[in-house]
Amino acid sequence: MTSSTIFLVRHGETEWNRVRRYQGWGDSPLTDQGRAQAGAIGHLFCTLPEARSADLLASPLGRARHTAEIIRECLGRSSPLRFDERLRELSFGSWDGFTRADIAALMPGAFDDERRDEWYFATPDGETYEVFAGRVGAWLAEAKAADRPLIVVTHGVVTRVLRGLYAGLPRAAAMRLPVPQDRIFRLAHGTIAEIST
């Protein structure tokens, strides 16, 4: 069986990204820079022959939706966007919308080097790693079997875990992957390539 190509994109910069507020299932609008990032990604897709025929899919959260709409416009498409709930960002539960300072006060040591990525899955009523990885892993299994390329607009922790699962990385290594808002990650034939604007 052949594996489909997945073009993975993180949404453009948001107001909350600027102030280091963790969005989770909350939302904030794209900044001017975020809209420019989405436009640059859209124009970059226009130069990639394989992306021209790709289906466009996004998380239903507003920041990913808006980024996908800008990309769709750059590609000159009029078809409605498709959304998949499994592409939502990790839920921090009641901590959605907390700042880095809020989290550090509630969970001392959360950002120490050896623990800096584990707090994501230790919020009182948020998603655990097992639940989250199960959700995005189920999506990935279906996406790999798709019959055409996919452009997928989603979120920071989602892109880390998806790339980690795709590459077979240990959890700790996956959680340390970069999550730029101005790049495309091309997942194809068992490899991951970064494409810059």
> Which residues are catalytically annotated?
11, 89
Strand arrangement of the beta sheet that strand 55-58 belongs to: 82-83, 55-58, 150-154, 6-10, 183-188, 191-196
Beta bridge partners of 196: 183
DSSP letter at 173 equals H
DSSP-assigned beta bridge partners for residue 192 = 187
Token pair in block for residue 161: 């875990």
Written as six digits, the tokens of 170 are 């240990």
Closest by CA to 152, choosing from 28, 54, 79, is 54
Q: Which of 187, 139, 155, 182 is nearest to 60 (CA)?
A: 155
The helix or strand, by DSSP H or E, that contains position 96, with its residue range, turns out to be none
Q: What's the rounded Cα separation, in Å, for the pair 157 and 27?
A: 15
User: What are the residue ranges of helices labelled H in 85-128?
Assistant: 100-106
